[in-house]
Structure 1
Amino acid sequence: MSQQLPYGSWPSPLTARWASASSLRLDGAAFVGDEIWWGESLPDEAGRVAVMRRAIDGSVEAVLPAPWNARSRVHEYGGGAWTASDDGVLFFVDKSDQRIRRLRPGGEPEALTPEDGGTHYGGLRWQRGTLLAVRERERPGATPERHIVRIDGASSGAASDPVAAVSELAGGSDFVAQPALSPDGSHLAWVAWDHPDMPWDRTRIRVVDLDAPHVVRDVTSGTTAALQPEWSADGDLVLLDEPTGRWNLYRVDPASSVEPVAMSPADADTGGGLWVLGTRWYAPLDDGRVIAVRTHGSDQLVIIDREGGAIPLPFAATARLQIDDVRGDRALVSGTMPGATGLWVVDLDSGEAIAVRGGTPDVDEAWIPHARQVTTDGPHGPVHAFAYPPTNPGVSAPTDELPPYLVWVHGGPTSHVGGTADSKAAYFTSRGIGVLDVNYGGSTGYGRSYRERLKGQWGIVDVDDVAAAARGLAADGLADPGRLAIEGGSAGGWTVLAALVGTDVFGAGISRYGVGDARALAAETHDFEARYLDGLIGPLPEAEETYIERSPLSRPERFRVPLLLLQGDEDAVVPPAQAEAIRDALVAQDVPHAYVLYEGEGHGFRRTETIVHALESELAFLGQVFGFATPDVAPVELA
């Protein structure tokens, strides 16, 4: 028989350390010979990204040992920091100096690129015996220069002249990504875009004949956000494009003038925000089929046959799915299922999935909340969200009490959340605190028109949408309207702060490295996002007044409810000065708050001790503000 206790104070075995350990941060995977390799951020090693391997006998060991750290700084968000040849040679970018190194079996890492502190590599890809990469070079007084490059001699002996070992294959744009070599190695395809666009605004898929490098052809219109060029076994180019308003698969003969043809039209997205180099939403198979991720709210794994039919695979994971690699009738797929993140080998004929890393909740499923898809009418149109109710098999709540809810606002703002409760959600719901995860206007996963709802309206549409979703939950009698809190990181932190000064919906806020001053962000941020705000707010200097009006720090007198600020001291995307300015405004307004600055952390927390402390601080903060006991965590000192 369950005991009856107030919401928020339910005892739970799901600790913050459990939540940290269950929240795997995987960074790519590949079939290498008879083994499976993957990248993994290790919180117990300060977030170092190691490359691991699982042998055919099931044993697991590190390919890339400490202190090496496979992290790229291209675009600041990195990605694609390692790849491998079929014979077990690892190529990786080390965080410390951003050089590409080669690690042969039984050997030591050896540098393939020159020592140059202003040069970064990422998006590594081993194809047709060739090592491809995106190179980013900083230039004094100018924007960085980026190229698709080939590392010559990567598979042979040590490079005697590293400078000569790097050949430029493609450039001419502010940004380049996702290089792909044709089956015969004669043609290169890639994604290109220029300021002020972001890769979800307008891009081009470009193709060059490597024997005639001055002849470059665009195979997409340049008016849409085309993504991820790949080559089929018969030499056609496959890509993602959205002329209909949905990212779908297209096929084209790059040597012809014929427009790309849709392979399997759907009212769902195969594609998303290209924040991280190496992201892949599909993969062509040798037999002409394609395995792809389709998103409309939640993710679904599908096989697209040669006739354009889409066959769903019975796959448990429905969020953050990525196709990491394919070989024959098997695929490596990473993603999140209820209570666990994992990497699986998926049989493409039977649909059977075998976990390689993670992929299985290490607690009874009774502790994991089931998502309820919620759509609310907002002032700008429908607002999509997922609700996770308080869930604890040993406790029930008083019948006259409604639960507190924590409203999550994802970053980006061009990101997306799927309907799968991760370990952090379970940490709160098991204690009697509901979670509402909102895909506000601007999110991917619902088509271009939903994504572009935020154009010029950042700080308005996002705020209105999360407020509408929270009010809707309370109006349905599912949440206590007096105990609604809001939490978000980065762009989500902006929405937290803007909602606190612009609405009276929330009784508390938690901002992780959030933006408080849009004008300062535009002046200080890195090149990848240097013109992002042109589309979200407006171009400068014409929109100067709008930047000031929208910024939460322009309305400090509107801060009235308690606020928890969490920040990394090495954050290059949203510098600590933003959080410190918010803290100073809260002090001036005598608003209860706490500011925690984590040493050695950047944009997104990676260390176990940071993740645990931040999560426990959030719980303690909510208990102190909303009046429920949290005996298993230390209190937060509110100034």
Structure 2
Amino acid sequence: MRTLAYGEWPSPIGAATAAAHDGSPEFTGFVGDEVWWTEPRPAEAGRRTLVRRHADGTEEPVLPAPWNVRTRVIEYGGRPWAGTVRDGAPLVVFANFADQRLYRYEPGTEPRPLTPVSPVGEGLRWADPVLLPERGEVWCVLEEFTGDGPSDVRRVLAAVPLDGSAAGDRDAVRELSDGRHRFVTGPRLSPDGRRACWIGWDHPRMPWDGTELLVADVAADGTLRDARTVAGGPEESVAQADWTHDGRLLHVSDRTGWWNLYRDGEPLCPREEEFGGPLWKLGHNWFAPLDDGLIAVLHGRGAPVLGILDPETGEVVDAVGPWTEFAPSVAALGERVVSVGAGPRSGHEVVELDTRTGRTRVIGARHEDAVDPAYYPEPQIRTFTGPDGREIHAQVHPPHHPGHTGPADELPPYVIWAHGGPTGRVPLVLDLEIAYFTSRGIGVAEVNYGGSTGYGREYRNRLRGRWGVVDVEDCAAVALALADEGTADRDRLAVRGGSAGGWTAAASLTGTGVYACGTISYPVLDLAGWGTGRPTTSSPSTWRA
């Protein structure tokens, strides 16, 4: 082991390698017996393609460049595709990023547009689709810009004909909901097709603040009637809703202070842990009902794990494997459950669980890096004490190198990372950006400051009215604690953040005196201007700050 100053260790992890690791598979689903998902292509201008896993296990990118399967609804987007099997072959509908139109695709043919291009404002956008071939329609969220002003936008549930008749005719799109809410998720139909449920909310609330779960009857002509609110409110966040195989309504609500799962209004597994999360993107799924009555769930404090819930006993059996984090991309078919999992030694992969055998395996987007795992970070889950004795959750990544160590009389520099959101959370997964620093002898501490999700509503609400205060204090508390305990060099502390985390980093640099330097990426700096801009879910909770 060679001794070399911290920050000067040679590393095989360059900026290009770290950048190529960016992104993860997302929005898994079944098309017949096949698993499909979207996957990033960093080397192809960052587009996302649709990937198909055949029955023999081979993967095939379905759409070549320049097709980009991604929607801009509420700017963060949402589920951009849906698929089924018709006449023995896949039928897929997807949103294309360049023009935001919906397209119909069948293998062996060119995609055909289903929706028109609007000359008004930023046009028409679509998300969270549900294919209903028996009706000849796809039901989804329609985001329509009606002018050039920041508030000239509306969102409703809509039905788009599958025959392409709306490709040049906006009037051929049927509107299903009445526009009572500024934001809506896509509909979920009961197994008998007679009821539909969806989630709605309005400014100034964000979806993790308060939403409403609506249910409507589906008439024979395909219209929605008697829409009524059955759960949720100004201080209750319903994050997801769906139906069991026998037509009972499932939903995730934080009415008790934790996102828990309910069936027809009754709690199925009341725990002080999260069975849901912030609805950043429409179509995020933290649970999926199985045909035998069991429910695949993501749950936990901080990092969510994949498990199978028996709603009759409230018992949860977790999947076995190396994954410490699962993304809200759960889908189920028969005894098969798929999601996207990752861990400290692997990036995000498509994982399948066989509920009959309990076997879990990687089936897609298998993580591979041209980096010796000996250079991977070795994270530590830590809890620190902040102002007023409050808990602060963090992940500490000490400097790590298989062939080098620092001088005995020297402490390493550390970078404090502030995540975005500000209601995000840093996942405990392999991140080569972190490895870029740790393999050079620079430590990293990722701080899940007050306001982060994954630790209950009380922890999340700490940031209300105190954005730029609580987050800054918590990051500083972690930095100083690392210095005080002899882990970090007090004179070589840095802070880094992007988006909402950029605001935290900027406020930290100007207001604390803790850091020697910092890095700010695509930051929120003009709060007044940001708060009066277009009301989309991509805007941080400036009205709460």
* TM-score normalised according to structure 1 size: 0.79
- Is 2:122 aligned against 1:122? no
Deviation at 1:379, TM superposition (A): 1.1
Cα distance in 2, alignment partners of residues 416 and 532 from structure 1: 16
1:243 alignment partner AA: R
C-alpha contact 1:230 1:237 (8 A) present in aligned 2: yes
C-alpha contact 2:115 2:167 (8 A) present in aligned 1: no
The equivalent residue for 1:599 is none
Which of 87, 93, 96 lines up with 1:94 in the alignment?
96
1:82 alignment partner AA: W
The equivalent residue for 2:436 is 427
Shift in CA distance, 111/385, structure 1 to aligned 2, threshold 3 Å: same
Shift in CA distance, 521/202, structure 1 to aligned 2, threshold 3 Å: same
The equivalent residue for 1:314 is 320
- Is 2:241 aligned against 1:216? no
Deviation at 1:413, TM superposition (A): 0.2
Superposition map of 1:222-237 within 5 A: 222=233, 223-237=235-249
Superposition map of 1:44-193 within 5 A: 44-86=43-85, 87-117=89-119, 118-126=123-131, 131-140=138-147, 141=149, 142-152=151-161, 154=162, 162-170=169-177, 171-193=179-201
The equivalent residue for 1:417 is 426
Deviation at 1:102, TM superposition (A): 0.5
The equivalent residue for 2:453 is 444
Deviations 1:294-322 (A, max 9, x none): 13122221111132111122232223522
The equivalent residue for 1:542 is none
Structure 2 residue runs without a partner (length 5+): none
The equivalent residue for 2:258 is 246
* TM-score normalised according to structure 2 size: 0.92
Deviation at 1:192, TM superposition (A): 0.3
Structure 1 residue runs without a partner (length 5+): 253-259, 538-639
Deviation at 1:507, TM superposition (A): 0.8
C-alpha contact 1:299 1:418 (8 A) present in aligned 2: no
Deviations 1:70-95 (A, max 9, x none): 22111011121122223312211111
2:230 alignment partner AA: V
Which of 332, 335, 357 lines up with 2:338 in the alignment?
332
2:399 alignment partner AA: P
Deviation at 1:224, TM superposition (A): 0.1
Superposition map of 1:294-443 within 5 A: 294-306=299-311, 307-338=313-344, 339-349=346-356, 350-359=358-367, 363-380=371-388, 381-443=390-452
Deviation at 1:362, TM superposition (A): 5.1
Cα distance in 2, alignment partners of residues 362 and 337 from structure 1: 17
Determine which structure has the larger strand proportion and give its number.
Answer: 2
1:124 alignment partner AA: P
The equivalent residue for 2:276 is 271
Deviation at 1:375, TM superposition (A): 1.1
Deviations 1:565-602 (A, max 9, x none): xxxxxxxxxxxxxxxxxxxxxxxxxxxxxxxxxxxxxx
Cα distance in 2, alignment partners of residues 115 and 237 from structure 1: 36
Cα distance in 2, alignment partners of residues 417 and 26 from structure 1: 17
Shift in CA distance, 300/18, structure 1 to aligned 2, threshold 3 Å: same
C-alpha contact 1:341 1:422 (8 A) present in aligned 2: no
SS at structure 1 position matched to 2:501: helix
2:338 alignment partner AA: L
C-alpha contact 2:9 2:439 (8 A) present in aligned 1: yes
C-alpha contact 1:24 1:342 (8 A) present in aligned 2: no
1:85 alignment partner AA: T
Deviations 1:135-155 (A, max 9, x none): 011122544110111223x2x
Deviations 1:453-480 (A, max 9, x none): 0000011111001100111111111111
1:201 alignment partner AA: D
The equivalent residue for 1:514 is 523
Cα distance in 1, alignment partners of residues 339 and 21 from structure 2: 17
Superposition map of 1:13-32 within 5 A: 13-32=12-31
Cα distance in 1, alignment partners of residues 335 and 211 from structure 2: 32
Shift in CA distance, 320/428, structure 1 to aligned 2, threshold 3 Å: farther
Identity of aligned residues (%): 41
Cα distance in 2, alignment partners of residues 503 and 51 from structure 1: 46
C-alpha contact 1:319 1:417 (8 A) present in aligned 2: no
Which of 466, 475, 479 lines up with 2:484 in the alignment?
475
The equivalent residue for 1:205 is 213
Cα distance in 2, alignment partners of residues 219 and 434 from structure 1: 49
